[in-house]
Chain A
Amino acid sequence: MRRIGVFICWCGTNIANTVNIEGVTEAAGKMPSVIYADNYKYMCSEIGQSMIKEAIIKEKLDRVVVAACSPRMHELTFFKTAAAAGLNPYLVEIANIREHCSWVHKDKQEATGKAIALIRTAVAKAARNKELWATQIPVECRALVIGGGIGGIQAALDIADAGFEVDLVERTPSIGGRMAQLDKTFPTLDCSACILTPKMVEVASHHNITLYTFSEVEKVDGFVGNFEATIRKKARSIDLEKCTGCGICWEKCPSRVKSEFDEALVMRKAVYVPFPQAVPNVPVIDRASCRRFTREKCGICRKACPAGAVNYDQEDEVLQKKYGAIVVATGFDILDLDDFGEFSYGKHPDVLTSLEFERLVNSSGPTGGRLLRPSDQSPPKNVVFIQCVGSRDKSRGKPYCSKICCMYSAKHAILLREKYPEAQAYVFYIDIRTAGKDFEEFHRRAVEEYGALYLKGSVGKVFPDGDKLLVKGVDSLSGHAVEIEADMVVLAAAIKAKSDAPQLARLLGISTDTHSFFTEAHPKLRPVEAHTAGIFLAGACQGPKDIPETVSQASGAAAKAIILLSKDNLLSNPCVSEVNESLCTGCLSCIKVCPYGAVAEKTIEEKIHGKALKRRVAEVNEALCQGCGSCTVSCRPGAVNLKGFTNEQIMAEVDAICL
C-alpha cells in the first residue's frame, strides 16, 4: 500500500477562481492510496513547501502529487522540496490544473471535475513511480562560438576572459560582421571601426581564443557539456603563417568581382581581404572567380608573392572538436527588395539600401567617405529616406518592426548634413520608435539641429525622372500628397534572419520562429538560452537588435556558458530509455527513429536449455538519450521503456481518466 499525499495550490486566484479547491481536496482525499490531502494559497511559497516537507515526514508519505501550475514552471521547485524531506524527487508528480484547466475554462463546476480527473491521473501514475537517480556527466571545458560579428566577438572574449578556451568560427574571411560595414554608430556617433577593431585584435591575440575564419560548422553531435562539432576550414589558398599581408597579390590580381563587403557597389579582386582592418589580415582566393581555378590560367599572385604564401593546392581541412557549450551569433540579412518595384531599387543606381548608404559615407568605402551619387559621382542635395520598407508589412514583407531603422535613419540624416550643410534630408515614416538610452534625444537632434524633415506617411512611387528621382508620397498629417525631387533615395530594408538559419537550427537541434529567427527558451525569463540545453543565443540571429543590445545579449550568453563550463560535472536526466533484453526481438526499429543516435545494437549470449545462444538486441546509451520516447512507441514487443514514463505508468494514467 502506497502512502500518497496530494497538495492542491490555489495559485492566488488563478486556480481558486475557477476550481472549487475544497471540493477538489475532499475528492483527492478519497482517491486510492491517498492518505493525506491539503491545499494552500501559494504552494510554491516557503510556507507551502514547508507544508509538503512536514507532511512527508509526519505522515510518512512515499509519493507526492502537487496539483498546481505547469511542470515547466515549478517541477524543479517541488523536486527540491521532496529531496529536502528525504524523498527521491522522481516520486513527485505534478498535476497541471492551471494551464490545462483553470486558465482555459470558465465553468467552475466543469473545471472542478476536470481538476479532480487530472489529480486522479497523477495519483495513478505516482503510485507507479520508482526512485530514479541522476548520474554525473563530465563537462568538456571549451566553448564554441559560431559567428564572428560583434555578438560572437563579445561572447568569445567574455568566455575566454573567464579562463575557458573558446573556438570562434566565422564563415567569411574576416571577423567583424555587420558592424565592420558601418560608419558611425548611434546614439553617440563614434566611429564603428574605431571601437570594433580593438576588440577584433583582442580576439586574434587572446591566448584562450582560437580563431577559425573562412570556416563553417558542418555537424554537431552530442549534448550539453559534451558536444562534438565538425568544422570545415575552407581552403584559403594562402598560407596563414607565411603571409605578411603586404597586398601585392591583390594589387596584381586581374580578376574583378563585386565586393560583398561593399554591398556590390564596387569591385574587389579574386584574391582579397574584405576590408583594410580585416582580422586576420590575410587574403583568401575566391576560387569561384579566380582564373587559376576557373580557366586553369594565370598564377600571377603566386609569382608576385614575396613570402611564397600562395598555395593553389591547399585543401579544405576538417576538424573534429569537443565542446561543453555553444554560442550562436550568426547575425542577420537584409530583405530582398524584388517585390518592392515601386521604389525602383535595382533600376536606378541612386536608389540605395541603408547598408549601401552606410558604405557610401564610410571612409573605407567606395567613395572614401565622400557621399556621392553612384550614377554620376555628384554630391546629393535632397535625400529621401523611406522607413519600414518590408518591416511592419504583412502582405509583402515582415510583420515585425526591424527596430534599428528609426535610429540609423536619424543618424544618416545627421551624417548627410555634416558632409553637406546645404543638403536636405526627408524621412518618410510610419511611427518613430526610439526606445533606448539617449535614443529619443538623438532623434530630436536630427530634427532640431540638423533640420531633417520628417513626414508621417508612406511613399507610393519613386520615378527615375532624368537624372533625378521623383518621390511621390503622402504627408498624412497635413493630408497632402507630396512630391519631392530627390537626388538619392535610401530604403530602410527590413532585417531578416539569415537565409540558411533553418539549416543551422536543424544542425544544432534548436528551434526557429516563423521568420527563421532562433527561438529563445523563454521570451522573458530565459532570453539567451536556446531550447536545447547548452546552446546560447546572441545578437540579431534571435531577432532584430542594435549594437548595445547585441553586446548585452552576447555577454549574457557568455555568462550562461561560463556557468555551465565552470561545473566539473553535470547531472544527467535519469528519465532515459531502457531495453528489456528478454523481450527485445532485435528488429532495431528504435535505432531508425532515435533522433540523437542514442540506440545501438549489441549481441548478447544466453543459455537456453543448457545451450549458449547469441542474439542481437538494442542497447541505449544513457549519456546520449534525451528521453524523447520515440523508441518506446516504435518498439513492437514493448521492450523499450522510458524511465519515469513507463508504458505501465502511461496506461495507468489513461485508465484513471477513462475508467
Chain B
Amino acid sequence: MRFSYYPGCTLKTTAAVLENSALKAARALGIELLEQEEWQCCGAVFPLTVDEIAPFLSSVRSLAAAKDTGEKLVTLCAACHHVLKRANHVMKTDKDVCNKANNYLQLPDQYRGGTEVIHYLELLRDELGFSALAQKVKKPLTGQKIAAFYGCLLLRPPAVMQFDNAENPSIMEDFLRTLGATAVDYPYRTECCGVYLSVQNEEIVAGMVEKIINSALRHGAEAIVDACPLCHYNLLELQQKTTHGKLTLPVYYFTELLEEALGLEDRAEEKMAI
C-alpha cells in the first residue's frame, strides 16, 4: 500500500511524537507513506472568505502534486486534514474558485479536486481495515481504560469531512478496541478543547479542559487519546494549569498507543519519565 503523505509544520516541531510514531507504525504495517516533496503550509485555518482565493493556493498545490502521482493523500495533523479536505471540496464544487485557482497557479495540468484526502485513522479503518490491524497487534492493550477525545476538526462540517457521525462518532473507540483496550464512553468526547483561545485567555480554556478531563476520570479513564496537535496541547498543558503541574490523566496521541500495541515502543518507560 502506497500513499502520498502530507505532514504539515506542527508535526516537524511540537508534535514530532505524532509523526514519528505514526510513520514507525506505518512501516510495521507495511504501509508506504511518501512524504510530498516541497510541501507547503496548508494554510493553517480554513479560509471562510468567499472572494479570496490566495489562502487556498498552497493547499491546492499539495492536492495537485498528489494527483500527479495518482495516489491518495494521507494526512495526520487534524488541522491540515481539515484544511486540505475542505479546500479540495471547494475545488470540486465551486467552479468559479476552481477556475481562478487554476488560472493563478498555472499548473502543468488543471486541478479540479481529483485527489482523495484521507486521514491516518481513515487509512487504518478503510484502507487497511481494523480487522487486519487486529491481526498485527502484538501487545494488546488489554485492561487499559482509555478515553478518546475527538475535537472538532476531523468531524465538522460533517457533510464535507465525511469522517464519521459528527454527533456520535465511533472511529476512535473502534480503533481502541482493535488494539485490545477498553474504550471509555463519556459525555465530553466531542466537546470543544478551547482551540486557540489558549493563547489569549488560558483561564477559559483551562476550565473547558478541566470539564473534559474530570468527565473522563469520572467514567474510569486511565488515559486520554487524541488525534489533533492543538487538542493535545490544550489537554496536556492546560490540564496542568488547574492541577498545579500534576497530570491527573495522561494524554497520548492515538499513534503512540498504536506503536505500543504493535510492540514497537514501551510506553511504561515514558510514563516513568513524566
Contact = CB atoms under 8 A, between A and B. Distances in A.
Query: Do A and B come from the same complex?
Result: yes
Interface of A: 340-342, 344, 347, 461, 463-466, 470
A341 B167 contact: yes
B166 A341 contact: yes
Nearest to B185: A464
A487 B251 CA distance: 32
Contacts of B166: 341
A341 B168 contact: yes
B187 A463 contact: yes
Contacts of A463: 187-188
Contact of B167 (A342, A466, A470): A342
A341 B167 CA distance: 5
14 contacts: A340-B167, A341-B166, A341-B167, A344-B168, A347-B168, A461-B167, A461-B190, A463-B187, A463-B188, A464-B187, A465-B187, A465-B215, A466-B219, A470-B187
Q: Which 3 A-B pairs rank lowest in CB-CB distance, beginning with the nearest?
A: A341-B167, A463-B187, A465-B187
Interface of B: 165-168, 186-188, 190-191, 215, 219
B171 to A, nearest CB: 14
Contacts of A470: 187
Contacts of B191: 461
Contacts, number: 20
Contacts of A342: 167
Nearest to B189: A463
Residues of B contacting A: mostly: loop
Nearest to B190: A461
B150 to A, nearest CB: 13
Contacts of B165: 341
B244 to A, nearest CB: 25
A441 B60 CA distance: 60
A276 B160 CA distance: 50
A465 B189 CA distance: 12
A341 B165 CA distance: 8
Among A341, A342, A464, A466, which residue has the most Cβ atoms of chain B within 10 A? A341
A586 B165 CA distance: 61
Contacts of B187: 461, 463-465, 470
Nearest to B188: A463
Given A461-B191, A465-B215, 10 more contacts: A340-B167, A341-B167, A341-B168, A342-B167, A344-B168, A461-B187, A463-B187, A465-B186, A465-B187, A470-B187
A342 B155 CA distance: 13
A465 B166 CA distance: 18
Among A342, A463, A464, A466, which residue has the most Cβ atoms of chain B within 10 A? A463
Nearest to A344: B168
Contacts of A464: 187
Contacts of B219: 466
Among B166, B167, B215, which residue has the most Cβ atoms of chain A within 10 A? B167
A461 B189 CA distance: 12
B218 to A, nearest CB: 8
